[in-house]
Amino acid sequence: MKLRLARNFEKLNSSYWFFPSLLVAGAIVAASGMIYLDWISQTTPLFENHFFEVSPSGARELLSMVGSSAISVAGVVFSITMLVLSMSSAQFGPQILGNFMQHRGTQIVLGTFVGTFVYCLIVLSAVRNDRQLLFVPNLAVGLGLVLGILSFSLLVYFIHHVSIFVRASHVIHDVGSRMEAAVNHAFPERCSDGKAPDKEFSVTLEKKLDSKGYAVKSIGSGYLQVVDWDALCGLAVQRNLVMKVDYRPGHYVIEGSRLMKVLPAESITDKDMMRICDAVLLGSERIYLQDPEFAVHQLVQVALRALSSGINDPYTAINCMDRLSAALAHLAGRQLPSRYLRDRQGNIRIIKNPLTYGGIVDAAFDQLRQQAAGNAAPTFRLLEVAATLGEQDLPVPFREVLKNQIYAIGKLNESHFTDSIDQEDFRERYRRALQTVARGSLRVD
C-alpha cells in the first residue's frame, strides 16, 4: 500500500497541475478568509483596520492590474517552460523531462501566478459601491498588492532557475544525486533478510519451482515500476506459498507473460492471483523508486548524445563519466541484499530477480565504451574512471566486472589509435587501470 502511494505521489509530483491546483485552492481560501476578516473589521470596532485603505475605484483598478498582469506573465512562464522542455529533450534526451517537471520551483511559480489571478478575481467581485452597500475589502486588496510584488520576485527567480537547469553540469549532477538516492533505497547498508540460504537447498527449491510451480501471468503491459515485497511476503506466509519472481523493477512486462512461479500450484486461488497482481505495479515509464539502473541509463543517454556526430561535445560526456564514477563508488559501499525473502521462522518465501553489481556496472560502461571507441578523450577518461574506482574498497564481484570492462576497452581500441603519442597514452592508462583494479583491496560480501 505504501509503495502504491509512493508511486502515485511520484506521478503527481511530476505533473504541472497538482501542486499549482493546491496553490489555486489556497488562493480561494485566502481570498474568502480575507474578505470575511475585512467584513468583521468594518462592522466590529475591536477589529478596525488602520493599516491599508483604498477607494472602491482604486481597489478595482489595483486588482484588475495585478490580476491581468499575473495571468499574462503566467502565459509567458508556460511558454518558456515548454521551450525549455523542448530544448532539454533535444539535448539531453526525453527521459530527462520528468526530472525537470518534478522540480518544485517551476510548479510554485506557475501556481503562484494562476493563484494570484484567481485571488484578484474573487476579491474584485467583493468590492461594492452602490446605493445599497459600500464595501471595500481593504486588507484583501492589500494582500493582492503583496501577491503582485511576490509574483514579480518569483518571475526573476524562475528566469534564474531555468538558466541554471538547462546547464549540462546541473542536469548531470541532478541525475547522479537521484541515482545515489535510488541506490540507498534498493541497497540497504545491512541486509535485513539474514544470511543467504544453503546453496544446494536453494537450487533444489528453484528447480522445483521451475518444473512444478504455477505460472502467474501479467494482466497488463508496461514497465515494472515497483513491487510491494511486504504484501507478497505477507500473502506467502498467510497461504503457505513460495514464489520465484522473474522480473525486477525496470523490466518491461508484456501482457500474458509470466510474472512468477508459485508453489504449491494447487493452493492458488483467483483471489490470490488478484492480490499478487495488485502487488506488482506497472506503468508507461520507468521511475527511480526501486530502479537505480534507470538513473544510470539517463546519465549514459546524456553522454551518448554528447558523443553523437550531431552534437560532438566530448566534455559533457566526460562530465557524465565523472558523475557515474561517483555514483558507482557510492554503490560499491552498499551491501547487496539477499535474493531470498524469509518469514520469521527462516523459511524462504520469495526468490527475487535481484540487481547486481555487474548489471549496474555493465549498464554504465557498455554503451559508453562502444560509442567512445576511437575517440581519445572519452576513452582515456573511461580508463581513468576505472582506475579511480579500482582504488576504492570494492567487493569481489564489482572488481571482477570492472576488470572485464577494462579488457573490453583495450580490445576495442587496440587498433584505433595510429598516432604514436595517442598509442602511448592509451597503453599507459590501460596498464594503470588494470594494475589498480588488480591490486586494490578486496571486500567479500
Q: How far apart are CA 218 and CA 74, in angstroms?
A: 43
Q: How far apart are CA 372 and CA 91, in angstroms?
A: 18
Q: How far apart are CA 20 and CA 13, in angstroms?
A: 11
Contact 136, 59 (CB under 8 A): yes
Predicted pLDDT at 51: 64
Predicted pLDDT at 50: 59
Predicted pLDDT at 4: 67
CA nearest neighbour of 259 among 251, 268, 267: 251
Burial class (CB in 10 A: 0-12, 13-18, 19+), 432: middle
Predicted pLDDT at 101: 75
Q: For the chain, first and last CA: distance in Å? A: 32
Q: What is the mean pLDDT of each run of 10 residues along the chain (445 residues)?
A: 67 79 93 88 63 81 92 88 81 77 83 94 88 81 92 89 83 86 74 41 77 89 90 91 91 92 87 88 86 89 88 89 91 82 88 88 92 89 92 86 92 82 88 85 46
3-class DSSP state for residue 281?
Answer: strand
SS3 content of the chain, % helix, strand, coil (to 5): 65, 10, 25
Q: How far apart are CA 252 and CA 243, in angstroms?
A: 20
Predicted pLDDT at 443: 46
Beta-carbon neighbour count of residue 433 at 10 Å? 26
3-class DSSP state for residue 128?
Answer: strand
Q: How far apart are CA 244 and CA 224, in angstroms?
A: 16
Predicted pLDDT at 192: 39
Residue 414 grid coordinates: 587496440
For 127-259, where are the alpha helices, taking DSSP H only? 138-165, 168-186, 199-212, 229-239
| Residue 284 CA to its chain's centroid (Å) | 14
Predicted pLDDT at 211: 86
The C-alpha cell 511558454 sits at 79
Give how far Cα 287 sits from Cα of 95, 139, 167, 225, 425, Å.
Answer: 10, 45, 23, 6, 40
